[in-house]
Structures are given as C-alpha cells and as structure tokens.
Structure 1
C-alpha cells in the first residue's frame, strides 16, 4: 500500500527526518512511535504532501507520489487526519463533513451513504449535526475529523496524535473507533506519543529517535526488549 524509501526532510539547515524507510501493507495498522521531536509528524506531513521532502520517495499503491499536492493525494485515496484535528470551527458538524463531498466530488447519493455510515460509527455526531464544530469537546472534534476523513473513502488513513489533549474517557472512545475502522479493513499509519496505546493497537511498530528509524517489529517482540520497553513506556 505504501513504501517510503530513504526519506529526508529538512527545515532550514536542520534535518528533521533522516533517511527513514516505512512499509505499510494493505489492511495493516503500523504505528510510528517515539518522543517529542523524533520526526514522527514530519514524516506523516511529508507523506501527505504538506511538507516537501529534501530527497527520497513516497510510493502509494505502486505509484511514485513524492511531491504530490495534498488534494491530489486525497483524491487518490491517501488521507491525513492532522494533529490538532483542524476542523472548521464556525461551520456545523454536517457542513464540516460536506467538505469531504467536495474534495472527492461525491454525488449526493454517495455522500448520503457515507454520511449515514459515519453517523453509525459516531452517533454523537448525528445528535450534533447542526451544532458548530468549535463548540464540540476535544474528543467530539477528533471524531468529526475522523468522520470527515472516512467520508472521502480512503485506502490509507494517516492519523497524527489522535489522543492529544483528550480526556481519558474520550481517548478510549476515539481508539475504540480506530480499532473498529481497522478491523473493518482500513489500512492505517498511526503517529501516537502514547506508546502504550499504539502498541496495544498496531500490527507493527516503528520506533523513531532524532529523525531516524532505530528499530521496528511486532509489538510483543519490541516490548520483550527491556531497554526498548523502558524507552516506550517511561
């Protein structure tokens, strides 16, 4: 589904990502974990077209999409739920979700079908469809951002720090939804600072430190390494 090869991203003279390689197989959930400043979000932003890499390639479903614009990647099926959610605060829940209709040029019938599916997954949004997004709780805004992404019909979903700033009960609700999405077959690349949450959910984890990939593997194997476990869960 996704192959990132020798990706380098710089800000000015500082290399934020240094030669990282990432492979995401169809139907899998891969987690990028590491401390603040490890380069996780920068990696996602480069994949999603928000940041142009200095070098390296991003291949999506066999096609080199390095440097593609974000809206073209969305139309191709690669969709990012950004850190901080980035919902349109003055617009209603339904109006936020209609953004997906325009980005993918959905027919009225396609939009209605996908909207109904999203409301089944996130019933609280259905109850607040006319409420402005800025008045929702942080967890509800994260659900809205997820629903908006799902309405585009992605093949690969990039999730950047979905638990950030949420109350524990809302973290549980959001991650239950992510688990359901993944169980239904969605391919996901997840960036999450809460390594315990990520390791509990993912099929494979990639550990980053100071812009570099330091190890990767299945969660149980990584957690069996005492020094790595201390790094993840300290």
Structure 2
C-alpha cells in the first residue's frame, strides 16, 4: 500500500517568547500536521503565500490589535493572504480581533472597563447552530476568556456566537476563516501560569478569581475539548 504524502504544515503565530499553541497544537500534531511556529514580534517573517501550508492560526497575546507596533500592523495586513487564497484561518482572541480589524471592524475596550477573564456563557446564533449541526457537536455552554477588548462583526462576516459584556464571540468570514474571542486551546497548565503571572488582571471588573476559574474548568472544559476536536476536523476538511 503506497504511503500517503506528508501533510503540509500549519502556520502558528505566537506573540510571546514562551507562548505555546497549547491543546490546539497537540490536536493538530495528532492529525499529522507539522507546526511552523513563528513569532513576528521577535523578527520571524510571515510567508508571502500559504501555498506550502495547510492553514494558519494566529493566537492571543497581551498586546492590542490597535497598538501602533509594526509587527501588529504587519500581522493584520498579512491576514489578506489566507483570505485571498481561501486557506483555513483561525484567529484566537487577539487573532480574531486582528481579522476583524483587517476586515474593517472596530476593536474596542469595554466602556465600563470590564474584562472577561474566566468562564462565561456562549450563545450561538442561528448561523452558529446550523454549523454545529454540520459539525456534529453543539457549542459549549461556557468558554474560557482572557481579554479586556472586544470587536464588532465585520460587514463581510457573520456572527456565530454572542456573549454579554462582549457581544461578538465567534465569527466566520467566507467558508474557512474563523475568529473566536475565547480560548479553547488553553490547557490546565496554561491557566495556572496565566493566573499567577498576570494575577493583577484578576482584579479588573468582571474578572473571576482563580478558584472560580479552576472550578469552571472542571465543569466546562470536557465539552470545550470535544468541541475543539470536532471543529478542527471540519475546519481542515478532515471529515469531508
């Protein structure tokens, strides 16, 4: 039986020196995709085309999509590549805000200074429910957040899920580009590290304390894990 050709890598864009792709990276590797990890903040270039990649994921970070840094602007502009080439693109938190900004929508801080840090309800729209039927798994009822800015849904995209303080929680542009305000990739170790290294953020209005976050993980993460596993299959056309 002939061997299957190796799969083209997934481009992984990270924003801190010690950041990892977490559960998302593990699930992609389990599917046989090499990870091409780049950190533009530290000088790594982004490819001019994704012809040699299966898709791309831009992860979160402490910076804002509104920051004037050259690497932030470059990443936002670069999102034109997967959109133009119709390649799978996934933006997580900052990566979702970058896609929204690229498509002409606003990225904004909550007017009352509130943050979403912890587990909060996720409310799928009619379009989101239609997709979840296709995927064969319902959206999680609660998902993990770590952000103090949100974004509007661009005119060229559709809203798949909403929330309370930050109404736009999941969007799709075209068939293959998704933006998620939440963090399905977060592992238990990542949550512990974030809540210790950035403990001051837990004092922001709306943020949950560490004990509540850990309790929320035990309650909600099994469903989030199943959802992400199935979502990635369809995002990558692995089940079609």
Fold-level similarity (TM above 0.5): no
State the TM bucket, normalised to the shorter chain: under 0.3
TM-score of the two chains, using structure 1 as the length reference: 0.28
Choose between structure 1 and 2: higher strand proportion: 1
TM-score of the two chains, using structure 2 as the length reference: 0.27
